[in-house]
Structure 1
């Protein structure tokens, strides 16, 4: 069964869970006031299509001074000094699709490259079955990219924490617990939902964030890991 890919709707569903609200970076629909206010408050934001996938059409905007904006799209970057032109650009981009504007997280890095974690959560066909974590890995952004969807490599999470010089290895357990809470919340809204691939961010202060959940996650990266047990477990749950 297909579930509607809508980042704004998913944010609102998860935000209603009191235990999850503080794990979600502030998100608003892209409108003039929302973009302006969030840039004033956070200095740096991310624009994403509501129904986007694979990191396509994501833009990073950083405020530089009173009326200068640095915009980063994939490996391209440019500066705009006119806020009206900036808004005009995004009105054009927003036409017919719908974008969200989100606080940009300062993700932990490995060799100056940001990384995040994919946590796979599944349950069996019965809607009353318990959600469990069936796999995880870390995605390290390719050189020059800010999104981890363009990944230079896929590695085990504990290895990523070590390379990032994060000493608290329990962060993986905590991230899994947060993913399970989020899956439970989404499962209440969608009783037939059986799998979610959560993108989980760890910022430079070691705080855990839910970036988003994917209802049709790409399973190919699990095949690249030396530990094949996670891939086998995921396939078993997909069948049962």
Structure 2
């Protein structure tokens, strides 16, 4: 039986590499203790199914005032009162019949108040051990959403960085993103030996710090087709064909 491709397993594998682990949000398998550990430490968490796609099943929970906790699901926002009721509500309505992780929420940088993250395609040819960043773009969340899985805009990474309001210097970010992405793909490639394409979701916070949000084993290329850069799209397909 092959190695699991779930989020929890990939997190554990990335945690083994010191050059990658410092860019990972703190993450645990979900239970009541781990939920409150991450919530009390960071004030906001992301709940994710270990196996899922397109952001399905992801819930953001944030500590609010007066012992209330705010749930943000798709564009819907509401509050639940009390710690006991909050975790019970989470299990009853969102975490049924699946394994979930609880993760430190990264306060993503924004463009015109909409958070964005970066999809990086890292690929290698069939007969080559060398990984290459073949494409990257920024996904800007739709109005009212905290997830970028249904983006309002797709823009180049350079434009996203240019229009961001970082509180720290952001020079050389594209190059650093490339370096971290190649290192991550090469490390994971040691375990997923038949995989020649990884799609990494990279987050940037207001301090211009880089976060590896997720590593996708079978990323869709439709985002890059929608960006309408024919050369980039052809390059991805060329590497996929090998």
Normalized against structure 1, the TM-score is what? Answer: 0.94
Q: Name the counterpart of 2:67.
A: 67
Alignment of structure 1 residues 150-161 onto 2, 5 Å: 150-161=150-161
Q: Name the counterpart of 2:10.
A: 10
In structure 2, C-alpha distance between the alignment counterparts of 1:72 and 1:101, rounded to whole Å: 15
Does the 8 Å contact 2:109/2:165 carry over to 1? no
Q: Would you identify which runs of 4 or more consecutive aligned residues in structure 1 move more than 4 Å?
A: none
Q: Which runs of 5+ in 2 are unaligned?
A: none
CA offset digits 1:111-168 (Å, max 9, x no partner): 0000010000001113x52000000000000000000111001111101111114563
Does the 8 Å contact 1:3/1:215 carry over to 2? no
The alignment's C-alpha RMSD in Å is: 1.6
Q: Name the counterpart of 2:231.
A: 229
Paired residue secondary structure (2:86): helix
Quick one: which of 192, 200, 203 aligns to 1:201? 203
Does the 8 Å contact 1:121/1:133 carry over to 2? yes
Q: Name the counterpart of 1:101.
A: 102
Does the 8 Å contact 1:121/1:195 carry over to 2? yes
Shift of 1:85: 1.7
Shift of 1:218: 1.4
Paired residue secondary structure (1:193): coil
Alignment of structure 1 residues 143-222 onto 2, 5 Å: 143-166=143-166, 168-222=170-224
Q: Which runs of 5+ in 1 are unaligned?
A: none
Does the 8 Å contact 1:158/1:169 carry over to 2? no
After superposing the two structures, state which structure 1 stretch, 218-227 or 176-185, moved more.
218-227
- Count of residues paired in the alignment: 238
Shift of 1:223: 1.4
